[in-house]
Structure 1
Amino acid sequence: MHVVVNAAMSADGKLSSHRREQIAISGDADFDRVDRLRADSDAVVVGVGTVLADDPRLTVKDESLRDERLERGDPANPARVVVDSRGRTPLEAEILDDEAATYVCLSERAPIDRRMELSDRADLVTAGEERVDLLRAFAALEREGLEQVMVEGGGELIFSLFEAGLVDELRVFVGPKIIGGRDAPTLADGEGFVEEFPTLTLAEVARVDDGVLLVWRIAE
């Protein structure tokens, strides 16, 4: 499996405000880039915090890109994956609509009644006791044929993926905004590293609108 983390952050490294409200950091050119990246992926992955805060649909917006997928024998939209240890994804969430297949990754701690309710709307992957074991969950997703995976956040999930050694590539649009706030989410939250920091190799730098796109590969 090839895992690409994609994010947009402000010039001071924030994903949103301290209220966890979605902020337009990038513009049309970057939206088009993200749509292309989704169209080239087998699945788009988010944490449950992103679902609760933004209620994203995570589908391909451009009809021509959906047509390209259909022409090569793929569904019009990539699968959606929610990492949700306790099964908190709302049943009315957009990500559970019928626009694409959806997988919800749970831990064994998720209540039985929530599992049953979610199983009517999504395919469930159970891995880990207290929290989702990402190595096991992603191995299960790969067995389902999901080989090119795009991760769209949030910061807790991104940190956990780096911690598990699952990230192959990091793509970050840095936008021309200052958000501030010591409690505002950053690209990689979680507990943080204190040793053996992941090392990145810069592969590409490009101006996009009034921001910059940085592409890193994970150093071996």
Structure 2
Amino acid sequence: MYVVVNAAQSVDGKLATRSREQLRISGPEDFDRVDRVRAAADAVLVGVGTVLADDPHLTLDEEDRRVERLRAGRSGDPARVVVDSTGRTPTDARILDDAATTYLLVSEATDRERREALADAGAEVIVAGEERVDIGAGVEKLADRGVDRLMVEGGGEVIFSCFEAGVVDELHVYVGSMVVGGRDAPTLADGSGFIEAFPDLTLTDVERLDDGVVLSYDVEDDDGS
């Protein structure tokens, strides 16, 4: 599977405020770029924190792109994936409607009754991991379901977990012209952090959009590929 991480951050590396409120960091040009990246993906992945904070729909904005996918024999919108270790996704979340397939990656810590409730609400529940979702195992199970290209949209905990699992192939970061501050504000990659072995990134492109820039990177595996 090919995994693309996409995020927007402030100059000081924040995805949102310390109160976890969503920020409008980029503008129309970058929104269109993100829609193009989504349209190229088989599935779009977020963490449950994003679902709880923003209740996103994660469908395409441009109808022309949806039509192009249908003409190519694909679903109109990419599938949606939520990393949700303990099954906290609300059963009335917009991501559980019938606009596209929704996979919920949960751990064995999510009890069977809760899994059944989420399945009844419209999710395909996938167990990957014991106490927390094992991203590597989850990616493999998504691949078994036909997901060849996965777009990861955050938040910071999920993005870190993807890097930690070594599954990321590309990283695109929009850096907007704003400073947010706050030691508790979420960053691009939260989690426990790296100490010695860091992801190996190669800058491949810099593009100015709106009042910011998109930095694009290739990410090498541990074996250098």
TM bin (shorter chain): over 0.9
Write the distance in 2 (CA, Å) between the matches of 1:54 and 1:191: 24
Does the residue aligned with 2:23 lie in a helix, a strand or coil? coil
Q: Which runs of 5+ in 2 are unaligned?
A: none
TM-score (norm 1): 0.99
Structure 2 Cα separation of the partners of residues 210 and 134 of structure 1: 34
Query: 1:50 aligns to what?
Result: 50
What's the CA shift string for 1:89-110, capped at 9, x where partnerless?
Answer: 0001010011000000010000
- Rounded to whole Å, the distance in 2 between the matches of 1:55 and 1:136 is 26
> How does the TM-score come out when normalised to structure 2?
0.97
Mapping of residues 32-181 of structure 1, within 5 Å: 32-120=32-120, 121-181=122-182
Q: Aligned to 1:152, what secondary structure does the other structure show?
A: strand
Query: How big is the shift at 1:77?
Result: 0.3
Q: Deviations over 1:132-158 (max 9, x none)?
A: 111111101001000011000000000
CA distance in 1 between partners of 2:42 and 2:112 (Å): 29
Superposition deviation, residue 210 in structure 1: 1.1
Query: Which residue type is aligned with residue 35 of structure 2?
Result: D
Distance 1:178 1:207 in 2: 18
5+ residue gaps, structure 1: none
Residue type matched to 1:70 in 2? L
Q: CA deviation at 1:217?
A: 0.4
CA distance in 2, matches of 1:150, 1:83: 13
Amino acid at match of 1:50: T
Deviation at 1:209, TM superposition (A): 1.2
What residue number does 1:9 align with?
Answer: 9
* Per-residue Cα deviation, 1:10-60 (whole angstroms, up to 9, x for no partner): 111000000100010000000000001111100000010110011100000
The SS at the match of 2:154 is: coil
- The separation in 2 between residues aligned to 1:196 and 1:155, in whole angstroms, is 19
CA–CA distance in 1 between the matches of 2:207 and 2:129?
39
State the alpha-carbon separation in 2 of the partners of residues 192 and 105 from structure 1.
22
Q: Which amino acid aligns with 2:216?
A: V
The alignment partner of 2:15 has SS state of coil
C-alpha distance in structure 2 between counterparts of 1:157 and 1:76, whole Å:
26
- 1:62 maps to a residue whose letter is E
Cα distance, 1:164 vs structure 2: 0.5
Give the Cα separation in 2 of the matches to 1:160 and 1:71.
35
* Residue 111 of structure 1: how far off its partner (Å): 1.7
Residue 25 of structure 1 corresponds to: 25
CA distance in 2 between partners of 1:195 and 1:119 (Å) = 41
* 1:4 CA displacement: 0.2
Aligned CA RMSD, in angstroms, stands at 0.6
Matched, 1:200 2:201: yes
